[in-house]
Amino acid sequence: MRLVFTGGGTGGHVLPNVAIIQQLKEAAARKHLEIDCAYIGSNKPAERRLVEREADIPFYEISTGKLRRYLSLENFFDFFRVFRGTIQAWRLLGKLRPHLVFSKGGYVSLPVVLAAHFRHIPIWIHEADLSLGLGTRIASRLADRIFLSFEETRRAFDEDDERLMVVGNPIRTSVLRGNKARGYALTGLRRDRPAILFMGGSLGSQALNDLLMAIAQRLVDRGVQLVHITGAQEVEPASSELEAGGYRRYAFLGPELADAYAISDLVVSRAGSGSLFELLALNKPMVLIPLPLSASRGDQIENAYIFEKNGWAITLDQDKLTADELFMTLAGLMEDRSRSASMISRQKKARGLDAAEEVASQLVAFASTFSGERPAAGR
């Protein structure tokens, strides 16, 4: 059987697919099933490298446009870009002839889903966030099976919709295998002092970078070490005094992120579903600063609300947040560990942390009942 995976635009749309593919390969080998996978993504080089390195499957790119919920001249041009991407996806699916298309969302996935629908290829999708993105909302009308990260997302569908399955958000097993020794070797930090990991999502965040740099020296002066993942954003140079006190900066961490997780006592992060479920599985206390409504559809705000409601995280509003408030929050958590301990205790009771394995098992079950005949290229 042959599967095509799609999803892209940010790491949050690609990494869960990688996690599923890795689990699928292992499950198929145990069942002695031959399952061939391919990936259709965006033209971002980092996306291709990630899929080819960690999933080890062929990668095909299409060009497409974004879907916006607000009026913009770009919407006019993006309509034609989506149309062009759908034609490209149609041709690719005719070449690859998959028995199933699995979509993780992101702007690149909609043309693939539309092309699969026109070719009568079964479509499975996964929504990572609490609320449906516009692309997923459209794709859900065409999908044969819909996987969800949150139980609350069921409210967007009919009560008796049998396509739904709540599984959580797929995470890579490699993230769970971080090593403290490697983490300390990577950063050169001291083992006898606490460390905070500060990251602004796969694309980075100028606002979060600026907030941290405004308080970094004060935190270091209190004996708190900092691992700062900046993304591609410009950040003011760190002083030698700051670096000597235990401040480490990286534009990006690949496989080493697992080791950075391992040495972190607290993580300050955006609230994309991918990072949230990784940190939840690792039982890491979190301070979440979701993207504000001015820069998003509010999906991260909703994700963060659920995590705070369950006692898994603390949420701060970026629009109201000052550097002093952030400093007091972080310093307070470092000095009084009872709140962090409470988060960890609640996190250990969480469910839905085996999503990649669950989705892979569903795909294997689909493959096990398949006749083995490939669909015709012209369908």
Tell me the CA distances in angstroms from 66 to 30, 80, 83, 111, one per residue in order. Answer: 39, 11, 11, 11
What angle separates helix 109-118 from helix 73-96, to the nearest 10 degrees?
50
Domain count, the chain: 2
Instruction: Please say if the pLDDT value at position 25 is more than 80.
Output: yes
Q: pLDDT tens-digit profile of 169-226?
A: 999 999 999 999 999 999 999 999 999 999 986 666 888 999 999 999 999 999 999 9
Determine, yes or no, domain membership for 376: no
pLDDT score for 329: 98
Determine, yes or no, domain membership for 361: yes
**Are 34 and 159 members of one domain?**
yes
* Confidence label for 294 from pLDDT (cuts 50, 70 and 90): confident
146 in Cβ contact with 363 (< 8 Å): no
Region 360-378: what's the mean pLDDT? Answer: 74
**Are 225 and 123 members of one domain?**
no
* Confidence label for 233 from pLDDT (cuts 50, 70 and 90): confident
**Are 47 and 192 members of one domain?**
no
Determine, yes or no, domain membership for 374: no
Instruction: Please say if the pLDDT value at position 57 is more than 50.
Output: yes
102 in Cβ contact with 4 (< 8 Å): yes
Q: pLDDT tens-digit profile of 86-110?
A: 999 999 999 999 999 999 988 899 9
Determine, yes or no, domain membership for 185: yes
* Confidence label for 12 from pLDDT (cuts 50, 70 and 90): confident
- Across the beta sheet with 266-269, the strand order is 247-250, 225-229, 195-199, 266-269, 286-288, 313-315
**Are 44 and 188 members of one domain?**
no
Distance CA 147, CA 276 (A): 17
**Are 231 and 308 members of one domain?**
yes
Determine, yes or no, domain membership for 378: no
345 in Cβ contact with 318 (< 8 Å): no
Tell me the CA distances in angstroms from 99 to 94, 122, 189, 278, 357, one per residue in order. Answer: 11, 7, 50, 30, 20
**Are 359 and 324 members of one domain?**
no
**Are 279 and 232 members of one domain?**
yes
Residue 318, Cα to own-chain centre: how many angstroms?
Answer: 20
Instruction: Please say if the pLDDT value at position 280 is more than 70.
Output: yes
Tell me, what CATH number does 323's domain have?
A: 3.40.50.2000
pLDDT score for 320: 95
Q: pLDDT tens-digit profile of 132-147?
A: 888 889 999 999 999 9
pLDDT score for 20: 97
pLDDT score for 379: 44
* The token pair that represents 299 in the structure block: 């999906």
pLDDT score for 200: 84
Query: For all residues of the chain together, what is the average pLDDT?
Result: 91
Distance linking the first and last C-alpha atoms of the chain: 17
pLDDT score for 254: 87
pLDDT score for 133: 81
Determine, yes or no, domain membership for 291: yes
**Are 233 and 288 members of one domain?**
yes
Determine, yes or no, domain membership for 44: yes
* The token pair that represents 295 in the structure block: 């820069």
Nearest one of 359, 355, 365, 357 to 150, comparing CA atoms? 355
Distance CA 196, CA 265 (A): 6
**Are 32 and 109 members of one domain?**
yes
**Are 281 and 154 members of one domain?**
no
43 in Cβ contact with 86 (< 8 Å): no
Distance CA 102, CA 123 (A): 6
**Are 360 and 341 members of one domain?**
no
Determine, yes or no, domain membership for 234: yes
Residue 295, Cα to own-chain centre: how many angstroms?
Answer: 18
Q: What percent of the chain has pLDDT over 90?
A: 78
Instruction: Please say if the pLDDT value at position 155 is more than 90.
Output: yes
Distance CA 20, CA 36 (A): 13
pLDDT score for 72: 62
Q: Please list, residue by residue across 152-171, b when 16 or more beta carbons sit within 10 angstroms of its beta carbon and e when fewer do.
A: ebeebeeeeeeebebbbbbb
Contacts of 200 (CB under 8 A, 6+ apart): 207, 208, 209, 229, 230, 231, 233, 269, 270
Distance CA 238, CA 232 (A): 16
Lowest mean pLDDT across 29-43, 230-244, 305-319: 230-244
**Are 115 and 24 members of one domain?**
yes
Which range of residues forms the domain containing residue 158?
2-171+353-368
60 in Cβ contact with 93 (< 8 Å): no
* Confidence label for 378 from pLDDT (cuts 50, 70 and 90): very low
